[in-house]
Amino acid sequence: PSAMREVMVQAPNVGWDDVGGLDEARERLREGVELPLRHPDSFRRLGIRPAKGFLLYGPPGTGKTLLAKAVAREAEANFIATKSSDLLSKWYGESEQQIARLFARARQVAPTVIFIDELDSLVPARGGGLGEPAVTERVVNTILAEMDGLEELQSVVVIGATNRPNLIDPALLRPGRFDELVYVSVPDEAGRRRILGIHTEAMPLAADVDLDALARRTERFTGADLEDLVRRAGLTALRRSLDTGMVEMADFEAGLADSRASVTAEMERDY
């Protein structure tokens, strides 16, 4: 069976307001992606060549996909999300065709942000990769050739993401490729507070709910962990009473008892 997939173009529905914390990553993407996509002529006038490829790296659940979608939306660009395992096919030549279709579609609907998740799965040889060495090597080469071909266009930007930056094939990191590295960290206390605010926005909170205190008590929680905590608190409130109109601090306490940070201090040190 062929693994060829349709290339889905999305108009992303999240923007900077949906991203909590991550101020530095956001700023880098604003300058590096949003500005050049929105104002290509200004860049052209000054003879500045914008970067073509960004690599977002950091622990899982910290908002890499969210950032890529948000920058696409804010740049008024289309968004195409894919992941390495979608591009790898054991059928000879099919991976290359899939990548060619991906970039062709991106150019067709430009300005476009292409998001490639699991970029570390494209490691040839040495194992760790999903595919056979020969396949991953061809896939890497095809992506690089497509990115090299983006030179004059400047209206297609590629954002890759990985949890394991040390596994990335160095060929992908050379100048003109994924040469802008952006660390997407677990949020600090202020970031956690903002994320809790975002994910409780549509939730009626009782007066005793203290989001500042929750932000203090959720060290190393990622955005995804915090979103999950809010969901658990909501479910606990429902379990208390289907008629309840409010989520209370006790519901968050119960949620907290069932949750913990998915990122350990040790994992964090490794980045």
Interface residues with ligand ATP (CB under 6 A) are 19-22, 60-66, 117, 161, 163, 195, 198, 223-224, 227
Question: Quick one: 119 or 140, whose CB is closer to ligand ATP?
Answer: 119
Per-residue three-class SS string for 208-253: CCCHHHHHHCCCCCCHHHHHHHHHHHHHHHHHHCCCCCCECHHHHH
- Cβ(102)–Cβ(80) below 8 Å: yes
Question: Quick one: 150 or 184, whose CB is closer to ligand ATP?
Answer: 184
The helix-helix angle for 223-240 and 249-257 (nearest 10°) equals: 120
Give kind and range of the element (H or E) at residue 180: strand 180-183
CB of 130 to ligand ATP, least distance (A): 15
CB of 87 to ligand ATP, least distance (A): 16
CB of 55 to ligand ATP, least distance (A): 12
Question: Quick one: 52 or 64, whose CB is closer to ligand ATP?
Answer: 64
Question: Quick one: 11 or 104, whose CB is closer to ligand ATP?
Answer: 11
CB of 41 to ligand ATP, least distance (A): 32
CB of 67 to ligand ATP, least distance (A): 7
- When CB distances to ligand ATP are compared, the closest residue is 223
Phi, psi (degrees; rounded to nearest 5) at 11 = -100, 105
Question: Quick one: 135 or 198, whose CB is closer to ligand ATP?
Answer: 198
- Cβ(19)–Cβ(67) below 8 Å: yes
Q: How far apart are CA 190 and CA 259, in angstroms?
A: 20
Q: How far apart are CA 25 and CA 187, in angstroms?
A: 11
